[in-house]
Amino acid sequence: MTRRRITAHVTSRIRIAALLTVAACVIAVSTTVPSAQSRAQTPSWMDPTLSPQERADLLLAEMTLDEKIAMVHGAPGVYTGNIPANTRLGIPSINMQDGPVGIARMPQVTALPAPIALAASWDTEMAQQYGTLIGEEAQSKGVNVLLGPMINIVRAPQAGRNFEGFGEDPYLSAAIAVAEIEALQGLGVIATPKHYVNNEQEHGRGQGSSQVDERTRHEIYLQPFRAAIEADAGAVMCAYNKIDDVYACENDHVLNEILKDELGFQGWVMSDWGATHSTVAAALGGLDMEMPGGEVTDGIFFGTQLKEAIESGAVPAERLDDMVRRVLIPMFQMGLFDNPMTGKHYSAARTDAHVQTAREIAAQGTVLLKNEDVLPLDPASLTSIVVIGTAAGKEPLSVGGGSAEVISAMVVPPLEGITERAGSGVPVDYAQGDDGASIDEAVQLAEQSDVAIVFVGVYSSEGWDRETLVLPEGQDELVRRIAAVNPRTVVVMNVPAQVLMPWTDEVPAILVAWYPGQENGNAIASVLFGDTNPAARLPVTFVNNTSELPTVDVNEPMGNPVHYDEGLLVGYRWYNANDVEPLFPFGHGLSYTTFDYAHLALTGPAEGQVQVALDVANTGSRAGAEVVQLYVDFPPGLGEPPGQLKGFQKLYLDVGETEVLTFTLTADELSYWDTSISGWTVPTGTFQIDVGASSRDIRLGGSFDVINPDLSAPLTAQPDTTDPDAAQPDAAPPTATYLLGLAGLLILVAVGMLIIRRKKGQSQDQGDSRTA
């Protein structure tokens, strides 16, 4: 799987780095033998042969109470968050900066496409590149803790921060987050997945309580956090909101019981900015660091007040040691002591290579929703183009707002990118289309042009949720008027997440480019003209109208407390369960080529796994990438939503090329949160699996029975008879995996018979000896 390949890359990079370090040490040792005096001066915790835990303990033993307190709250400084260096003990400063979209609010950085666009690439290698780019710019700026990624789930389409996250599905979010975190931390930048937990809207975020049942919390909202922790994220940011009426940053249940005990998180929990509400309750409830903090005497909760609480015994001294240890361990782990950052906040971080990467990710994240023979555009056969919309010209919608906003001084507006790519032979006209006269002008130009490209969109930011999913400022009407006069109208949407698209049937081509970052115009031109063959898929479902939504009507104020009444039926799960045909389903996206799926083969359960293999072929006339998606139906009667994403792979295929793909399902993918034991259970019964090009475009299916929850034998897997290739008498021969499966089955049966015969023999022997 792609994810494995990436892990292997990262691991091998770390290995190479480690080898180089060892080599460097050997050279250093052989040329400069330290004097007895300098050896004595090297503090014990600087011995790199010790484990991060041992080093943290050695250092902790030297720290005074005041020094410990200074490590658990922020102070003023040049970064978003600052823990000053301790020069007496040689502890480097902790420099924290937002965030999920790149280095926020600092000059000379790269404005990346929004994370929702990254998720739309369904490409963990893209996520690795995204993390690497942010990590490198963090290094240049001296940032050693990144306040991201943002891994809250898109539950309500109008929520203000949806663009910062990875969509409505926990499996996709987890995969993208892990790849990004591994890349970041591979460069020595500590990641801070946020906001823990159930911070899925802005409305009332400071006081609102998210009321979520435990099974839903585990199966949906905790999944990306669980994966991030398995990927060794060094810090986690707790959220502003309450959970079951207790603030997230002093919530013993979600911090101590779930995050630290159940999920085994070893790093530190920092509060969101101003999300600390107490001293003793927060310290005992699991918070390890108050941010942004302030001077120690400021009346902040983890300054003088925490010191007094330690002195009075209201907070045990061991708890403070635990907080500090949790900060120090990731610092040692990620090399903050051994390779301190040398970058400065004012240094330039953006490079040409970064800009290229930003363009590539933006293009790879652009979803082709609809295309009736209009795209790609061919300049050789075009005589004129008109580009319409403020987002195409003077007000490009390239980045979202709030703490994640990246200053994008070098934005390429769509008009510029398209004009340049169209070349001098194709005149490109432009109209803003934002008021009466300018709309008339746009319509007139559209009438005269070969192709009309209309940019529509909406701004979104932290701090507020959109009140409606309707595109603002009459943009729906603009699209309709253009489409009425030009049969080759292409709509490009710069949106943070879902919007309503009542004109879908009236236009032949639609693209979602999200917030594409500074390479906006170049990226969209590359997709429009076919330099990039679109290969993105929706990480969220687009509905026909708001009455289809699982969450509260967008015209109602979002509830407070927020009742997660839809439970497990978040996003596409809801539409599947309620038989609603959405406008564009989760996982949907077109290409300029076509793909064929065949020869599904299932093997297992055996040795804790089920293998799913199939052939995917590029049957069109262009090289391109397909995102093969695997959805699982649990045995009936458990209350599990139908068709849950449990695997995906992105596959680049040349024209005519076929590749065999294999998915592996383990207990991780096949268990549900069993409230009766407060744990994960693999249920027995029949699982159905569907493989397809979206959650609604299923090409092949099969089923298998789980008889033993440990996924051991017997083998029961069957492709569906609905698989045309499996059913056809003249179908191509089964794939090797299938044959292996059959061979496995025969061997198991033979071994089983042998065992039974031997056992019979033994019991006969025993019986014989007893009767003797």
Chain contacts with ligand BGC (rule: CB under 6 A): 80, 98-99, 147, 194, 272-273, 403
Q: Helices 170-186 and 223-230, interaxial angle, to 10°?
A: 30
Which of 232/272 has CB closer to ligand BGC? 272
Peptide bond connecting 557 to the previous residue in cis, omega within 30 degrees of 0: no
- What is the CA angle 518-146-218, rounded to 5? 105
* Cα separation, 590 vs 594, whole angstroms: 9
* Cα separation, 298 vs 281, whole angstroms: 19
Contact 191, 185 (CB under 8 A): yes
* Cα separation, 593 vs 313, whole angstroms: 68
Q: What is the largest CA-CA distance in the chain?
A: 109
Question: Which tokens hold the place of 122?
Answer: 């369904």
Shortest distance (Å) from residue 632 CB to ligand BGC = 33
Shortest distance (Å) from residue 299 CB to ligand BGC = 20
Check residue 86 and report its DSSP letter.
B
* Cα separation, 673 vs 81, whole angstroms: 36
Question: Residue number with the shortest CB distance to ligand BGC?
Answer: 403
Which of 161/696 has CB closer to ligand BGC? 161
Question: Which tokens hold the place of 131?
Answer: 């993390």
Q: Assess whether 272 carries a catalytic annotation.
A: yes
List beta partners, residue 629.
648, 692
Which 3 state secondary structure label does DSSP give 453?
A: strand
Phi–psi pair at 595, nearest 5 degrees: -130, 145
Q: Who contacts 572 (Cβ-Cβ below 8 Å, separation ≥6)? A: 168, 169, 541, 582, 585, 586, 587, 643, 695
* Cα separation, 159 vs 168, whole angstroms: 12
Catalytic residue (choose from 272, 615, 720, 725): 272
Question: Which tokens hold the place of 331?
Answer: 């610092």
Which of 72/610 has CB closer to ligand BGC? 72
List beta partners, residue 368.
511, 590
Which of 74/303 has CB closer to ligand BGC? 74
Selection from 133, 326, 313 nearest residue 233 by Cα: 326
Residue 361 belongs to what H/E stretch?
Answer: helix 352-364
Query: What's the Cα-to-Cα distance from 26 to each of 29, 31, 580, 706, rounded to whole Å?
Result: 5, 9, 65, 54
Give the CB-side neighbour count of residue 210, counting CA atoms within 13 A.
31
Shortest distance (Å) from residue 202 CB to ligand BGC = 9
Check residue 318 and report its DSSP letter.
H
Contact 466, 160 (CB under 8 A): yes
Which of 106/147 has CB closer to ligand BGC? 147
Which of 195/218 has CB closer to ligand BGC? 195
Selection from 703, 682, 46, 113 nearest residue 354 by Cα: 113
Phi–psi pair at 657, nearest 5 degrees: -80, 145
Active site residues: 272
